[in-house]
Amino acid sequence: MTKDIATPVRTKMILEKYGFSFKKSLGQNFLIDLNILNRIVDFAELTENSGVIEIGPGIGALTEQLAKRAKKVVAFEIDGRLLPILAETLEPYPHVKIIHEDVLKANVKQVIAEEFEDGQDLMVVANLPYYVTTPIIMKLLNDHLPIRGLVVMLQKEVADRIAASPGTKDYGSLSIAVQYFTEAKMVMTVPKTVFIPQPNVDSAVIRLTKRPTPAIKVENEEFFFTVVRASFAQRRKTIFNNLTSHFKQTIEKQTIEKALLDAGIDPKRRGETLSIEEFGNLSDSLNRFFKNTD
């Protein structure tokens, strides 16, 4: 029986054998704590029929634990130097497939169609590279993939922002964008000491359960996200000032004020005080006024 990858001794042995050096530009921090890996897998609630998509498998520490519980694991790895290492460490698991590709450029929907069964229970489980956490999460949600959800490790600061409620300092456009598609819950924090090399920031695991339909119904989804981003452009400004600044070329000030009042929102409020429902009303109201002035 091979020893688990995720121990300090085995990890160091593998790295030394292949003369592997960490690339800071790829945000490589490998987990060396089996208990934490098993808890991450627990949060994904996999069955023996589940399929898993992993991003950035590293030397296969999390991949191995996923393979022990899932029917199939497909992992995207951008660093070609890791491919021979993964071929060795994951040799006991023929139901794992490594795709040498940047997930941000990949057609994940097509990969799912080719690699998994139709209607199979699917989860994304990953220790995400910290420098591209947000783009990866947003790509996976915007691509409307047939997944049950995501369980991902990321910087605690980003996890705080994703799971934040209105009126808190962490609440912003990222909170709304993720909560529009999913129910977000931070499920554990992770100390720096369980990684090689140790990152400079604290980490956390967040579970995003995909909603059957978005949290609210809006007339124009793309415009809704534009309004949300514009509302947080400068946090100290009122929502009226942020919106007039963003739309100055296309929508008149009076129109913006009318739209805010029409949506029942005081123009002096700040973006961080608005709930997702209020943003939905505001977006629809602005969209209607905008269309009427065309």
Where is the binding site for S-adenosyl-L-methionine, in residues?
Answer: 29, 31, 56, 77, 102, 127
Q: Looking at the chain, how many residues does it have?
A: 294
In sequence order, the 6+-apart residues with CB closer than 8 A to the CB of 141 are 177, 178, 181, 182, 208
**Euclidean distance between CA atoms 97 and 150, whole angstroms:** 19
Strand-pairing partners, residue 154, are 204
Closest CA to 5 of 54, 47, 65: 65
Cis-peptide, bond into residue 197, ω within 30° of zero:
yes
Helix (H) or strand (E) holding 123: strand 122-127
Q: b/e for 33-48, b at 16 or more Cβ within 10 A?
A: bbebbbbbbebbebee
- From the centroid of its chain, how far is CA 132? 9
Which residues line the annotated binding site? 29, 31, 56, 77, 102, 127
| 224 touches 241 (CB < 8 A) | no
**Euclidean distance between CA atoms 136 and 150, whole angstroms:** 11
Structure tokens at 136: 């990866």
Helix (H) or strand (E) holding 231: helix 221-231
